[in-house]
């Protein structure tokens, strides 16, 4: 699996599968382009004709509301034709059925696939096996990556904090199973923040997590010292059954973000969450809905950021 798979022969974005291997300038280009799409909300007709005549298929092998909806809206606002497919998968013979699905859609002259899949590497696989003119965007693959979420997080951070270089960012919660955390860590480091700190119980951290370029804390109150940006992660309830945690209430007691604990971060710290939030499990409602929360800004920004990524992946493609 080469990193260059994401770039065409001119070094331009072709697929968007992971933050890994993309340089700072390319990430900044995405953020800048997204910025200009935000301005479009003044228009009575909230559409630009950039991708007119292009067909985009959202292939969602795993449930999603926010991501799928914002991808659909983003494609619509670029004037592309969009088809969203939710595909239930059987656990066996996935390779073959996935490839068959792709071949069939290719035969319908599709230009882009937006893929969400429970298996890590699914979007890479599709990018490797689809026709040369097709672009693939990863909308979340297993525990591997969720790069468009990372970019909208970066966009939201830049909107408020302007400069990445002095920021200390804490990512709190289930780092082990979180593709958002992985992509956020890569993006934050590529953009040159001062520090990325992960705060989690030992059972919810990957082994050798420090090699990702993060500092580690197992205590929320200590970990929040000097923090400018707090990214809370959803506690995936299915983890409880795997005996990684005693109970939800126990988790909240130790790692839930409350108003009281938020005071340990910088007074102007911003609170983020990729959604869906479990109120009272990883975050208190007062914090989720409070003045430091930008959770809904993240959702709105998702549209402009996904527009930027789709537009960049579709430019100068398709020959000559």
Specify the residue, 36 or 86, whose C-beta has the smaller distance to another protein.
Answer: 36
Site for another protein in 171-210 (CB under 8 A): none
Query: Near another protein by CB under 8 A, which window of 44-52, 229-237, 264-272, 280-288?
Result: 44-52
Specify the residue, 217 or 315, whose C-beta has the smaller distance to another protein.
Answer: 315
Interface with another protein includes 11 (CB under 8 A)? no
Query: Near another protein by CB under 8 A, which window of 29-37, 113-121, 210-218, 254-262?
Result: 29-37
In the complex, the smallest distance separating the C-beta of residue 311 from another protein, rounded to whole angstroms, is 6
Interface with another protein includes 88 (CB under 8 A)? no
What x-and-dash track marks residues 285-314 binding another protein by CB under 8 A? -----------------------x--xx-x
Specify the residue, 243 or 320, whose C-beta has the smaller distance to another protein.
Answer: 320
Specify the residue, 80 or 196, whose C-beta has the smaller distance to another protein.
Answer: 80
Q: Check: CB of residue 130 under 8 Å from CB of residue 276.
A: no
Interface with another protein includes 39 (CB under 8 A)? yes
Q: Please report where in the chains the tokens 């795993």 appear, as a residue.
A: 62
Give CA–CA dist 271/228, Å, rounded: 9
In the complex, the smallest distance separating the C-beta of residue 191 from another protein, rounded to whole angstroms, is 15
By rule CB under 8 A, what count of residues binds another protein? Answer: 28
What x-and-dash track marks residues 45-84 binding another protein by CB under 8 A? x-xxxx----------------------------------
Interface with another protein includes 36 (CB under 8 A)? yes
Interface with another protein includes 42 (CB under 8 A)? yes
Q: What does the binding site for another protein look like in residue numbers (CB under 8 A)? A: 12, 28-30, 32-33, 35-36, 38-40, 42-45, 47-50, 308, 311-312, 314-318, 320
């Amino acid at each position: 699996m080469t990193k260059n798979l994401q770039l065409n022969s001119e070094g331009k974005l072709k697929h968007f599968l992971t933050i890994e291997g993309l340089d700072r300038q390319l990430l900044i280009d995405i953020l800048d382009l997204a910025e200009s799409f935000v301005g479009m909300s003044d228009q009575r007709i909230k559409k630009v004709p950039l991708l007119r005549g292009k067909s985009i298929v959202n292939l969602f092998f795993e449930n999603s509301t926010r991501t799928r909806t914002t991808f659909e809206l983003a494609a619509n606002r670029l004037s592309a034709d969009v088809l969203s497919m939710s595909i239930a998968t059987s656990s066996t013979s996935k390779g073959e059925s996935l490839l068959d699905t792709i071949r069939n859609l290719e035969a319908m002259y599709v230009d882009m696939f937006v893929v969400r899949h429970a298996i890590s590497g699914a979007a890479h696989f599709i990018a490797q096996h689809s026709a040369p003119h097709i672009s693939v965007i990863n909308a979340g693959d297993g525990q591997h990556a969720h790069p468009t979420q990372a970019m909208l997080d970066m966009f939201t951070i830049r909107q408020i904090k302007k400069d990445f270089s002095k920021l200390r960012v804490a990512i709190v919660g289930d780092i082990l199973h979180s593709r958002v955390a992985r992509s956020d860590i890569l993006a934050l480091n590529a953009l040159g923040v001062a520090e990325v700190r992960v705060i989690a119980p030992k059972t919810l951290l990957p082994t050798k997590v420090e090699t990702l370029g993060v500092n580690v804390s197992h205590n929320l109150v200590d970990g929040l010292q000097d923090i400018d940006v707090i990214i809370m992660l959803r506690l995936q309830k299915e983890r409880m059954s795997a005996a990684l945690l005693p109970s939800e209430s126990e988790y909240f007691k130790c790692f839930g973000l409350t108003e009281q604990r938020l005071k340990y971060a910088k007074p102007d710290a911003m609170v983020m969450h990729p959604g869906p939030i479990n109120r009272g499990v990883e975050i208190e409602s007062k914090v989720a809905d409070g003045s430091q929360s930008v959770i809904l800004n993240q959702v709105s920004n998702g549209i402009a950021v996904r527009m930027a990524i789709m537009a960049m992946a579709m430019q100068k493609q398709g020959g000559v």
